[in-house]
Chain A
Amino acid sequence: MQQAEEYMRIGNTKLQSKEYPAAIAYFDAALKLDSSLEDAHWGRGFASYQLRDNASAEPALSRAIQLSSNPLRKALAHFIRCLARVNLNDRKGAMQDYEAVAALDRNTLDRLQSQTCVGTSQIMVLAMLYPSQFVFIVERLTRA
């Protein structure tokens, strides 16, 4: 157990210094010794999300949500899992996380709203309504 906690401590240090692959390695080592460590699942999920490995982030965060009894921490895990699911094109799953965040913590919901802003909505609308013209402009813009 002490060894698992030591791995956790190092994993968190790596997480803070944004050494995400190393953080994941330490969280994995901790989870091998004790798979009920909520923080290790959370850390693994967060680090994977930062590395854009959304497919790995999703199950790790799901486990962290299952294990957590703290509403704020649960909200944070739903928050990151929502972003990961958005990137995985899992709109329905992302919506479930959104609703969970809304029920758990309003401040986290506000952060989620701002984080998931897709940018200028008019661009999205132009791309939807005039796809060929939009692609033409993108091609012209990206031409050297």
Chain B
Amino acid sequence: MKRPIHFSGKVGPISDAMSGYSRDVNGMMQDFYHYMGHVWVQNFDPPQSADELAHFDIGEVIGRYRAHQTAGKPIPMDKGLGLVSSYLVTQIVASTPLVCLLNSAIAQEDASTTERMARVRFLAPQDLIAILLKKSRARLNTHKDIGDQITRWGALCPMYTTLIYDEEGDMGHCIVQVGVENKSERLIIWDPWPLRSLLCRENNKAGVAAEAVASDEPFWTVSPAELASVLYAIFMPA
């Protein structure tokens, strides 16, 4: 691996309403999430098969988390999770096997550093985008309610955890690939970053200029070429 990239790192002050969860719940989940990624998956064998994931008891992790806290041991909170930890934790929460599709043009990992991931494929950026376009069989109208359309189309409009990185520093970001716009074929993303997306022109060095979708939810559109330039990895159901 050339250098480790950490996704969605340092925790800042939390806006209650923007997250939808109270400050306490957010803080607690951040703590637990960092424990899972930085401590638990480093010391135990995480479930990876469909059977293991379906029967995995998260209570076991919670018990060890509480013991960790009681013992006064630290939880690293200053960095987000690396790719492998992100994948393993997402898979546990999803309770279903995922495949990690890595952009071979910018991924810092190689076969040796991804060996803990049960399912990983290195793909050229254009092939990654082609898969996204093919999987999203529905096309969405950005002038209508996106949430309603996602609900209506269901499996024809799958959404994926998407890691992005714009070649600056060691910090990446995490968004959701939501679908494809019906006329322009631009990709629709959901960015949890409040206010302006990190893929807006002023917030990245890669030259991506996300355009806002008129919505109360943080939906944005980017061109396939723009997303290809910052797309690091996608976690898709296997």
| A residues at B contact (CB < 8 Å) | 82-83, 86-89, 91-92, 94-95, 98, 102, 112-130, 133-134, 136-138, 140-142
Contacts and interface: CB of A to CB of B under 8 A. Distances in A.
Nearest to B80: A120
Contacts of B34: 120
Contacts of A91: 216, 218
Given A116-B13, A121-B8, 17 more contacts: A86-B18, A114-B13, A117-B10, A118-B193, A119-B14, A119-B19, A122-B8, A122-B90, A123-B33, A126-B33, A126-B93, A129-B159, A130-B95, A137-B58, A138-B28, A141-B28, A141-B32
Contact of A120 (B9, B25, B159): B9
Contacts of B195: 82, 86, 94-95, 98, 112-113, 116
Contacts of A112: 195
Contacts of B216: 89, 91-92
Nearest to B178: A128
A119 B26 contact: yes
Contacts of B8: 120-123
Nearest to B217: A91
Interface string B36-63: 0000000000000000000000110010
A120 B11 contact: yes
Given A98-B195, A129-B161, A123 B15 contact: no
A142 B86 CA distance: 23
Contacts of B218: 91
Contact of B17 (A87, A92, A129, A133): A87
A94 B216 CA distance: 11
